[in-house]
């Protein structure tokens, strides 16, 4: 099976945020999908290891900020490459507001926000899919939406490839290069914290 085929599925990129115990947190996902229009309903699938996952499970409320193509790599590092367990991802960030549900959302480098209330969950093993009614939403700018392919082509830093190209693995998410002939199965990218499954041989 050529699992690279799955990388040809195009995705949007989003910050999903939640609030629990007076703490705001958010993470980057590529899994927000509108599932019905009447009523307006979306799904989002989140890795159970994400702090945001437990906050949504506990509160049943979340916001989606639709990332626009103005977002830079620092934006992705802030929300995607650290855990809300260790850091306040919203610290020092000016462009935020709260929805009627009390949950924070972004107003800069995004083009829309959506507030949602969970009506159903599906246990997918490593992930939970949350199905939710849209309770509030607004367009925030006319900038085009960030897509997975735009991120990889224009936002992710380009790393110089070794001229010898004798071994080594590249993280498909952030571009980090692991030097060595064998990538340990339990290797975790030091930059973006994704696992060995997200590395390709170069």
**Is 173 an interacting residue with respect to Fe ion (CB under 5 A)?**
yes
Nearer Cβ to Fe ion, position 15 or 189? Answer: 189
Nearer Cβ to Fe ion, position 62 or 76? Answer: 76
Report the phi/psi class of residue 18: left, alpha or beta, with left for phi > 0 and alpha for psi in -120 to 50.
beta
Rounded least distance, CB 158 to Fe ion, Å: 14
Backbone angles phi, psi at 57, to 5 degrees: -60, -40
**Is 177 an interacting residue with respect to Fe ion (CB under 5 A)?**
no
**Is 103 an interacting residue with respect to Fe ion (CB under 5 A)?**
no
**Is 93 an interacting residue with respect to Fe ion (CB under 5 A)?**
no
Count Cβ atoms below 10 Å from residue 185 Cβ, excluding itself.
Answer: 8
Tokens of 150: 């735009």
**Is 113 an interacting residue with respect to Fe ion (CB under 5 A)?**
no
Length of the chain: 202
**Is 191 an interacting residue with respect to Fe ion (CB under 5 A)?**
yes
Contact 34, 112 (CB under 8 A): no
Backbone angles phi, psi at 47, to 5 degrees: -60, 135
Among 130, 176, 178, 199, binds Fe ion (CB under 5 A): 176
**Is 171 an interacting residue with respect to Fe ion (CB under 5 A)?**
yes
Nearer Cβ to Fe ion, position 146 or 192? Answer: 192
Q: Segment contacting Fe ion (CB under 5 A): 26-34, 101-109, 147-155, 174-182?
A: 174-182
Three-state helix/strand/coil letters over 7-30 = HHCCCECEEEEEEECCEEEEEEEC
Nearer Cβ to Fe ion, position 57 or 191? Answer: 191
Count Cβ atoms below 10 Å from residue 98 Cβ, excluding itself.
Answer: 14
Contact 25, 84 (CB under 8 A): yes
Binding site for Fe ion (CB under 5 A): 171, 173-174, 176, 189, 191-192
């Amino acid at each position: 099976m050529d699992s690279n085929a799955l990388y040809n599925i195009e995705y949007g990129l989003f910050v999903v945020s939640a609030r629990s115990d007076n703490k705001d947190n958010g993470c980057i996902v590529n899994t927000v999908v509108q599932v019905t229009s009447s009523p307006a309903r979306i799904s989002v699938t989140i890795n159970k290891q994400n702090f945001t996952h437990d906050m949504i499970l506990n509160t049943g409320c979340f916001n989606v900020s639709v990332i626009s193509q103005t977002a830079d790599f620092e934006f992705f590092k802030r929300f995607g490459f650290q855990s809300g367990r260790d850091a306040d991802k919203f610290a020092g960030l000016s462009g935020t507001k709260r929805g009627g549900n009390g949950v924070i959302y972004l107003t800069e480098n995004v083009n829309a926000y959506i507030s949602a209330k969970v009506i159903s969950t599906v246990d997918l093993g490593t992930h939970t899919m949350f199905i939710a009614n849209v309770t509030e939403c607004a367009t925030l700018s006319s900038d085009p939406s960030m897509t997975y392919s735009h991120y990889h082509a224009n936002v992710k830093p380009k790393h110089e490839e070794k001229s010898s190209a004798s071994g080594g693995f590249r993280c498909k998410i952030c571009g980090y290069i692991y030097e060595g002939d064998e990538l340990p199965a339990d290797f975790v990218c030091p930059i973006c914290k994704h696992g060995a499954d997200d590395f390709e041989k170069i």
